[in-house]
Amino acid sequence: MAAAAFSGIEAQSFTVPSTMRAAVYRGINDVRVETIPVPAISEGEVLVRIHTCGICGTDLKKIHTGSHTAPRIFGHEMAGTIVALGAGVQGWQVGDRVMAFHHIPCGECYYCHKKTFAQCSVYKRVGCTAGFEPAGGGFAEYIRVMDWIVQRGMIRIPDDVPFEQASFIEPVNTCLKAVRNLHLASDETVLVIGQGPIGILLAALAQRTGAKILTSDLYSSRHRVAAGFGLTRSIDASCEDVVAAAKEHSDGRGADAVILAVAGNALIRTAMDAARPGGRVLLFAQTQHGEAGIDPAAVCMDEKSLLGSYSASVEIQDEGVQQVLQGYHSGFDLTPLISHRFSLEQAAEAIQFASQPRPDSLKIVIQPNPA
């Protein structure tokens, strides 16, 4: 195949094809695997060949609700190899194994000074694309990583850490941010509702604070996976009263903190009821606008706090990276959370499968270039 054309690219020995395969979002519930041009890179940018990209709940929301215009190529939990460098890129070489955050804040605005990075206007710009309007691009063979991401949001992956493990760097950051927002203490009891891959990550990271961790889920198979991360205080939500169980494990008070890792708004009331007076409830999966019923007296008279946490934080970027990369060899191997792997040609099937969770399904990944 002919080499792709690149704007401002330095001469490299790696031959890049002019076209590639990509899972293109064409409209609500319409994702098609198509042949499109490999994205051109400019000064300060790099081209990455994607090995693994996880399917995130926010990807599914965008595909199913039409919240974003088409066409786009989604996917942001990604890891791969640099295959081309734009002019002026320093500190990186073709062949480097990397992951790239798709959002990085400016560091200078009001929201950055307040450390509310996800509300920064620069953060809201997507800095990775496989083509069309930037949307991450990990559901494609190659992505273009823009200059500000190359400078502050691209991470080197050691040779002894698999791409699959590295693809968890971004979701681990988001979960670590949520746990930090709760300011947990070692004498507290924490309930994590939902034991999908994100719920397990949230519970495992919360456990590192020394707090007592309770987990609830409808599926016993997920509790078995969670047990591999030391999460053994499980509540079978299919037959147990979650609120009563939380109180039983906390001398009748209720959990000091509750993390809701399930998107259903109906469970917000359960989370509030399971929290003790003065406790905290953190919404992690409620990314769709709408209305949800809560008991206002629980917030006012019972002094319960309702919090939210969304996306990643650059403030804990280095810490999160180290937890994933070093953790692979020291008890934090995340690859058991991957239950199903799909090729890029199977991307539409993968998205449909991820949209209908089963007892045996956890993290679903697409692997455009698994070799």
Tokens standing for residue 90: 């320093």
Tens of pLDDT, residue by residue over 40-82, are 999 999 999 999 999 999 999 999 999 999 999 999 999 999 9
Is residue 74 within 8 A of residue 37, CB to CB? The reply is no
1 pLDDT above the threshold of 90: no
How far apart CA 32 and CA 313 sit, in angstroms, is 32
Q: 307: which strand partners?
A: 282
- Phi-psi region at 248: left, alpha or beta (left = phi > 0; alpha = psi -120 to 50): alpha
**How large is the average pLDDT for residues 231-241?**
97
Task: Report, in angstroms and rounded to the nearest whole number, the Rg of the chain calculated over CA atoms.
Answer: 21
Backbone angles phi, psi at 69, to 5 degrees: -65, 155
- Residue 14 pLDDT grade (very low, low, confident, very high; cuts 50, 70, 90): low
Which has the closest alpha carbon to 32: 69, 63, 7, 66? Answer: 63
The continuous run of DSSP H or E covering 53 comes out as strand 46-54
Q: Which residues contact 301 (CB under 8 A, 6 or more apart)?
A: none
- Residue whose structure tokens are 């903190």: 257
Give long-range contacts, CB 8 A cutoff, 24+ apart: 354-359. Answer: 354/55, 354/60, 355/60, 355/64, 357/196, 359/219, 359/220, 359/221, 359/222
Q: What SS3 state is found at 6?
A: coil
Per-residue confidence (pLDDT) for residue 312, from 0 to 100: 96
Instruction: Give this prediction's pTM.
Output: 0.94
- Choices 3.40.50.720, 3.20.20.150, 3.30.1360.120, 3.60.110.10: CATH for 175-308: 3.40.50.720
| Contacts of 217 by beta carbon, 8 Å cutoff, 6+ apart | 194, 195, 196, 199, 223, 226, 234, 235, 236, 237
Report whether 29 contacts 341 (CB < 8 A).
no
Fold for the domain defined by 19-168+334-367: Quinone Oxidoreductase; Chain A, domain 1 (3.90.180)
Q: pLDDT grade, residue 332 (50/70/90)?
A: very high
Confidence (pLDDT) at 13: 53
The domain spans of the chain are 19-168+334-367, 175-308
**Where is average pLDDT lowest: 95-104, 179-188, 291-300, 316-325?**
291-300
How do residues 83-120 score in pLDDT, each as one tens digit? 999 999 999 999 999 999 999 999 999 999 999 999 99
User: Which residues 6+ apart lie within 8 Å of 231 measured at CB?
Assistant: 195, 200, 203, 204, 207, 213, 215, 223
| Bond prior to 105 in cis (omega within 30° of 0) | no
Neighbours of 124 (CB within 10 A): 12
Q: CA nearest 118: which of 201, 178, 68?
A: 178
For helices 317-327 and 169-182, the axis angle rounded to 10 degrees is: 120
Say if CB 34 and CB 20 are below 8 A apart. Answer: no
Percent of the chain at pLDDT > 90 equals 94
Per DSSP, 340 falls in state E
Alpha-carbon torsion, ordered 289, 295, 300, 301, to 10 deg = -160
CA distance 228 to 282: 24
CB contact at 8 A, 202 and 217: no
Given the structure tokens 């469970």, which residue do they identify? Answer: 267
